[in-house]
Amino acid sequence: MKVAVVGATGMVGEVMLKVLAERNFPVTELLLVASERSVGKKMSYQGKDITVIGLADAVAAKPEIAIFSAGGDTSLEWAPKFAAVGTTVIDNSSAWRMDPTKKLVVPEINASQLTKEDKIIANPNCSTIQMVMVLAPLHKKYKMKRVVVSTYQSVSGTGVKAVQQLENEIAGIQGEMAYPYPIGRNALPHCDVFLENGYTKEEMKLAREPQKIFDDRTFSVTATAVRIPTAGGHSESVNVEFENDFDLSEVRKLLSETSGVIVQDNPDTNTYPMPIYAHDKDDVFVGRIRRDETQRNTLNMWIVADNLRKGAATNAVQIGEYLITHNLV
């Protein structure tokens, strides 16, 4: 199995290499691919030094799978070139997510839709993945009508420059700014760019992607996305109105039996999900599960996950695992 990691030198790319190694992904030859400025650089994978190559060389090598985390423009230009030589591309950018001809996949929810013909597969937004992992079993049981989500997103979701900005501010160093304002001791209601409707791109991803993943437009999602000064891990306050009523103990049982979801919900012992505990883990954590007392059939929850792992790298690798297990590559 010849596998290419495109954007290998970036923050998510490095986590992808870590996840591939941890999960013993069946790689016989690993191609580390990056932009021209990184070509020739050496990176280590499972004790071996591998030289970074450019995109054209990677296409010429015809890998079976290429996992992309190199930005939307790179994906739009190069994913079709890989697909044309028979490579299956798993893309972590927003480039293909809402393309009606491409599947948007969270393996635990909708991998069964995949076929050999799917040569470009989209990985959802990090905030979307952790939310739908928790919503999926609940939607199946109680049928969602409306979701209101507010996110508390770490600076690692922006990238290395943002992590450096936060570290500089903590150390009292003047440095390059990833954000228009300080992030330390602050909260920015500004994730990604603003759109004409007053929402940010991140907020609209949260609104649209779940409908595509569930292949269901009978429910709606409205979002407010906020950047906070945590180094890693995204948190979400999620309010869900259902068609049917629920029992809280049944909700907790349903979620605790869901693969990839861990319930941390005991106010008596101050047990609830936090980014500091989600760090470097592949599960999605849910707690503060309680009834919304202002409205019928409505639930409040707090959902946390490591945005670089299940929110990006792990989900992409799991798609690759599914493709191999089901002989789709």
Q: pLDDT of 174-194, one tens digit each?
A: 999 999 999 999 999 999 999
Mean pLDDT to the nearest integer, 128-140? 98
The pTM score is: 0.97
User: Is 227 a known ligand-binding residue?
Assistant: yes
The predicted-structure confidence for 255-309, as pLDDT tens digits, reads as follows 999 999 999 999 999 999 999 999 999 999 999 999 999 999 999 999 999 999 9
How many CA atoms does the CB half-sphere of 84 hold within 13 Å? 9
pLDDT digits (tens, 9 = 90+) for 199-236: 999 999 999 999 999 999 999 999 999 999 999 999 99
Say if residue 10 carries a ligand binding annotation: yes
318 a known binding residue?
no
pLDDT at residue 173, rounded to an integer: 96
Output the pLDDT for position 287: 98
Confidence of residue 151 (pLDDT cuts 50, 70, 90): very high
Structure letter (DSSP) for residue 113: G
Give the pLDDT score at 143: 98
Domain 2-123+312-325: give its CATH architecture.
3-Layer(aba) Sandwich (3.40)
DSSP string, 249-317: HHHHHHHHTSTTEEE--BGGGTB---HHHHTT--SEEEEEEEE-TTSTTEEEEEEEE-TTIIIIIHHHH
CATH 3.30.360.10 positions along the chain are 127-307
- CATH 3.40.50.720 positions along the chain are 2-123+312-325
97 is in an annotated binding site: yes
At the topology level of CATH, where does 127-307 sit? Dihydrodipicolinate Reductase; domain 2 (3.30.360)
Residue 260 is labelled as binding a ligand: no
On whether 127 is known to bind a ligand per the annotation, the reply is no
Q: Report, as residue numbers or ranges, the catalytic residues.
A: 126, 234
- Band of pLDDT at residue 83, cut at 50, 70 and 90: very high
pLDDT over 70 percentage in the chain? 100
